[in-house]
Amino acid sequence: MPQAAITRRRFITIAASGMAIAALGNVRAAWTRDIAPMRWRGSALGAQVSIEIHHPDPRAAMELVDASVHMVRRFERLFSLYRSDSAICELNRSGVLIAPEPDMVELLRAALRLSQLTDGAFDPTVQPLWQCCERHFARAGADAAGPPPQELAEALAKVGYAGLRVSDDRIALARRGASITLNGIAQGYATDRVVELLRRGGLSTTLVDIGEIRAIGARPDGTPWRIGLADADAAGRTFATIDLIDRAVATSSGSGFRFDRDGKFNHLFDPATGRSSARYRSVSVVAATATEADALSTAFSVMSEQHIAELVAARPGLEVVLSNAAGQLRTLRS
């Protein structure tokens, strides 16, 4: 029987088992054996959360659920811009974090490596651009052309990953008024850490989705997990599928968040210009880790196709699916 596609979705699902899994529709899974899953539902990292662990041992399943929830909650206290008491909000308020937690240091170091790799196309310090657009479009009668040039220039002057200083005992923002966002990488990092947890728990065939998707091994029958890439402009429809075995996939699209009705201003900011990117309808990246796939899908959204192709050619194991403004697809592989 052909495999159906699992469509990338915005809420968190961990579907873990040694049993076979097949996708039904775009968000649900059916198991070949009647195993009652252990479930937890809530919200975290700015999204609705649903964690399900399918495991033949109910006690082991419950322990994995509890451990996964605890880990996701801990990351939320570090990385979430939606919590005023998070570590990232404290850094943005004061410009410095003393004795930061190791996960914050690890993630920021990964962010800086990926910033260097993409020549700054991925940049965690673009938060002032978000704030500039948010303030502008919150005003009554906001100009559809976007923030005034002077306001945009002032925000852009605060952007630049070179001004983010990270060490084991201190994180600092060198530019006055600078702030960071980890929305283009934190979900990937959380996915990778949960994968590590589930591997330690003995799971060898699992699909984890915490905003980004990563497969542990193949499906129990040895075939790849098949992931459907959602059409940004047509809910419930996919435009391509990707097969995963021990790989991760992440997708970025300007339609994920729009400041204005026409969608000219979205969350994918080009750190070089301060403007939102409209190069592609969507960018999907397959990589060894969800952290890398997440950050690169963000970076590639503002990069030219030629620049993307050059980076892919130089970095083994990458696969990129570009959907241009007209909906035409191109796949790049290293």
Which tokens belong to 205?
A: 């065939």
Distance CA(307)–CA(27), nearest Å, equals 34
Place of tokens 């592989």: 333
Side-chain half-sphere CA neighbours of 124 within 13 A = 30
Q: Does the predicted TM-score (pTM) go above 0.75?
A: yes
Distance CA(186)–CA(290), nearest Å, equals 9
pLDDT by residue (tens digit) across 13-52? 444 444 333 222 222 333 334 566 677 777 767 666 666 6
Chosen CATH of 6-81+186-248 out of 2.30.40.10, 3.10.520.10, 3.30.750.24, 3.40.47.10: 3.10.520.10
pLDDT at residue 145 in the model: 92
Distance CA(247)–CA(292), nearest Å, equals 11
Residues in CB range of 149: below 8 A, 6 or more apart: none
pLDDT at residue 36 in the model: 64
Side-chain half-sphere CA neighbours of 36 within 13 A = 3
CA 255 to chain centre: 14
Which strands form 238-244's sheet, in the order they lie side by side?
6-7, 225-230, 238-244
Residues in CB range of 161: below 8 A, 6 or more apart: 111, 112, 115, 116, 120, 123, 124, 125, 271
Cβ–Cβ under 8 Å, residues 231 and 240:
no
Instruction: Give the chain's residues under pLDDT 70.
Output: 1-37, 44, 46-52, 232-236
Side-chain half-sphere CA neighbours of 167 within 13 A = 5
Q: What are the residue boundaries of the structural domains of the chain, listed by start?
A: 6-81+186-248
Give the number of other Cβ atoms within 10 Å of residue 21's Cβ: 21
pLDDT at residue 110 in the model: 98
pLDDT at residue 234 in the model: 66
184 is in an annotated binding site: yes
Distance CA(257)–CA(308), nearest Å, equals 23
- DSSP summary character for residue 162: G
Helix axes 102-117, 186-200, angle to 10 degrees: 120
